[in-house]
Amino acid sequence: MGNGNTLHVGLDVHKDSIAVAYAGADGVAPVHIGSSGTRQCDIDALIRKLQSKSPHLVFVYEAGPCGYWLYRYLTRKTFPCFVVAPSLIPRKPGDHVKTDKRDAVTLARLARSGDLTPVYVPAVADEAIRDLARAREDALKDCNAARFRLKAFLLRNDIRHVGRANWSPEHLRWLARLVFPTSAQQIVFQEYVRTVTERTDLWHRLEAELVEQAKPWRFSPVVEALQALRGVQFTVAITTLAELGDLTRFDHPRQLMSYLGLTPSEYSSGD
């Protein structure tokens, strides 16, 4: 293979290993060269091995739980790298065999033919805000789940709150006065109440941190602008921006609507 050819390198990335394959000139079958470790020294050794075949390398791997660290490491080394959407990778009907080797070879082949769809990779600061927004949302879900378990426990024991609002100061005072006939039930009740309290405190702490961290964020003016819409408060605005990222990546509002799944489509046949 001539040094002037570009190698399209497919990486099937896992927690402790990366399956590697490359595709060179058109008409030449992709080559699987084995697996690499995930440490930076392992990536450097892989790069040197591939550069012995061609100095022009283009890397591609699927978006997944391992995140974007590999993308950022390779781009810092000035190598083109693309993270692709797994759901948009073309697959032959009836092809039910899946291995790390086949995945890496498929990525290399499709990267060479230009049939892969890259995903948007957020900047480190943008991803940090997204992580914080998701942590706040997870804490809220955990809080609601803990409250549901407590209310279900009370209902099983025929204990009902007759006040208007749950989790109001009056409701919390009512909970504090409850006493169960057995020590086992009292233990369960107290642990459920403690869990609700801890989850609520965590939710409020993360929400407060989100407010503070959003102030120096580059998209803070956009968050403020979104709150001018009726019904859009801070948490809705920042969560929306954290998930969407840089809105300028959409050339037209239709692209944004398509990304959100709000564009109608037609599925018809015949007359």
Residue 1, pLDDT score: 36
Residue 105 CA to residue 28 CA, distance in Å, equals 12
Contact 143, 262 (CB under 8 A): no
Residue 5, pLDDT score: 83
Residue 3, pLDDT score: 42
Contact 79, 101 (CB under 8 A): no
Please list the ranges in the chain whose pLDDT falls under 50: 1-4
Question: What does the angle CA 132 – CA 203 – CA 64 come to, to the nearest 5 degrees?
Answer: 35
Element holding 56 (H helix, E strand): strand 56-62
Residue 4, pLDDT score: 46
Residue 258, pLDDT score: 87
Q: In what order do the strands lie in the sheet with 56-62?
A: 31-36, 18-23, 6-13, 56-62, 81-84
